[in-house]
Amino acid sequence: MRSAARAAVATPRFVIDSMLGKLARWLRALGYDTLYFKVAEDRTLLQLAHAEARTLLTRDTRLARLAGARGLLIQATEVEPQIVEVIERLALTPASDDLLSRCLECNARLADRPKESLKGRVPEYVFATQDRFVGCPGCGRIYWRGSHADRILARLGRVLGARS
């Protein structure tokens, strides 16, 4: 019964207060569906949280209170402890398959892009040295597993490892 109940739990989705932009990018890097706007009214964030069953993450006690069961008040001020806080408070288990599966800029799910289709669209040395590319259907960005992705993964591993 326990495992059946666990499997039924939907992957959480988020809407992030404007002041937590770095946290939004990290949640996207972990593969979570995360809405973030540089400018948004509290009312809009609350509506999205309720209409789309998203957890509203904020450092604003008033907004967290307004969100009720949909809100989560973030205590930490730095992004790494914030990630740990979210993961622990919501008992998240980020799946390694989902890492770097979303666009950090716009949240869309990334799709595989055949290498040959990208000639001239990525720097030459990248084209020469990388084999696997993914692209964002939302904003058109192309991502590859270069040093940037490796840095993100290393930092995630450190952050996630530090909590155990």
Applying CB under 5 A, which residues contact Zn ion? 103, 105-106, 108, 136, 138-139
Angle between helices 79-89 and 147-162 (to 10 degrees): 60
Residue type, 11: T
Closest CA to 14 of 29, 6, 3, 4: 29
**Nearest residue (CB) to Zn ion, 103 versus 134:** 103
**Cβ 106 to Zn ion shortest distance, Å:** 3
Our CB check for Zn ion shows the closer of 139 and 154 to be 139
How many angstroms separate the CA atoms of 9 and 50, rounded? 17
| Minimum distance of Zn ion from residue 37's CB (angstroms) | 14
Q: How far is the CB of 139 from Zn ion (least distance, A)?
A: 3
**Eight-state DSSP code of residue 99:** T
Burial (CB < 10 A; 0-12, 13-18, 19+), residue 128, is exposed
Q: How far is the CB of 110 from Zn ion (least distance, A)?
A: 8
Q: Which is nearer to Zn ion, 16 or 136 (CB)?
A: 136
The residue (of 72 and 108) whose beta carbon lies closer to Zn ion is 108
